[in-house]
Amino acid sequence: MRRKDAIWITGVGAATPVGNTYAEAADNLLAGKSGVRPLTAFSVANHVSKIAASIEPVGIPPGWDEAAFLGLDSYERMLHWCVAQALHDAGCWERRADIRIGLILGLSAEWIRTWEVDFFEGGDLVRRPRQDDESQVERLRRTLGLSGPAVAAATACASGNYALALGRRWVEQGWVDVCLAGGFAANLTPVALASMGNLGALSRRNADPAAASRPFDRDRDGFVIGEGGALFVLEGAARARRRGARAYAEFAGCGLSSDAFHPVIPSPDSAPMARAMRIAMADAAVNPDDLDYLNAHATSTPVGDRAECRALKAVLGEAIHRVPVSSTKSMTGHLLGGAAAIEVLACLAALERQAIPPTINLDEQDPECGLLHVAHQARPQRVQVAASNSFGFGGCNSCVVLKKVA
């Protein structure tokens, strides 16, 4: 491995249940605003869960042909919006043809959405090439004229962190000047909702949508499915300094591991989760006492939240009583393939605003989830180092560490 200098995040694009820009999402996360609402995109009469964390329609990016943009489907508009937003934010949009820009999209199960259109709604009998994960990457690359390598990463709920980890390596190796990396999901379809409902994974707290996602709470009963994602521009600190780019944070470390245990249940001893966290902290050259905030994966399922707490206790040791922890899924729901990315966004907000977003709806803590919780309201405090966990179905574990840039 060739590590030349620090890797910075210099641009952000977002389409989330709590806002379609970084600033709006950061404001709402720190305000404790829920993005969960009744699901109205299709009939939910036969579904156990009738709520979701949906996004508002995205706007037309600056300089984009309106007719061409509106000709894309809603998922493609979301992706193009975030790419354009991130490149504009980083100051790379106008010169994108002259920059080696890599693209890594963390995606999960998008075939559910596209096959559903074709097979259940009378779509084309022949599958169109634009309908799989890789073709979404190819379409973006071609439409925007991106000349660097491009690929999709599919590791369920950890996809965004895997994309960022790979993107950092591309920049470090000098294969690209900058890399667009993040994660997205368009999960709000009848098949996706029924599948998760049949697993018993979804909350049935339909009468009070904003209170349904309640990580670490004693009365949690499952997650709320969501849609959206975020995309980040990664580049070397030296290059970013030369061009006067803004630094949201240093992407300081990442750790990846696998359970190899069960399709949807985490390893009982939580050791693989703990290993990913230890690798990330070692990569970032930090120890538990250096952490100022940890964004937990905690999805609001009884089994998953407890498994993560076991891993946190194993890794943090005595620091478990000092490191503030929250789960922003209490506000955003669970975006599956987009979850890791918007939780990196939450960490950027904590570093920039010097405040920790809360776990809302944490009314009575599960006795087995004894952590230093930030409940109900954001907590102003010094934040120099933040970590984010994302653990996916199939045992895909990830942790990333971000540092504030002086």
Which residues form the catalytic set? 157, 297, 334
Q: How far apart are CA 312 and CA 277, in angstroms?
A: 8
Q: How far apart are CA 50 and CA 55, in angstroms?
A: 16
- Three-state DSSP at 168 gives helix
Pairing of strands 178-185, 228-236: antiparallel
Q: How far apart are CA 251 and CA 234, in angstroms?
A: 8
CB 330 within 8 A of CB 360: yes
Enumerate residues 6+ apart whose C-beta is below 8 A from 198: none
| DSSP letters spanning 95-136 | TGGGS-EEEEEEE--HHHHHHHHHHHTT--SSPPGGGSHHHH
Q: How far apart are CA 327 and CA 388, in angstroms?
A: 10
Q: How far apart are CA 97 and CA 145, in angstroms?
A: 6
Helices 133-144, 74-90: inter-axial angle, 10-degree rounding: 50
Phi and psi of 258, rounded to 5°?
A: -130, 145
Q: Which two tokens stand for residue 349?
A: 């907000």
Q: How far apart are CA 369 and CA 327, in angstroms?
A: 12
Separation in Å, CA 265 to CA 176, 212, 270, 395: 37, 21, 11, 8
Q: How far apart are CA 4 and CA 372, in angstroms?
A: 36
- Three-state DSSP at 287 gives coil
CB 345 within 8 A of CB 366: no
Q: How far apart are CA 359 and CA 327, in angstroms?
A: 5
Which amino acid is it at 388?
Answer: S
DSSP state of 88: H
| E-strand stretches of 116-208 | 150-153, 178-185
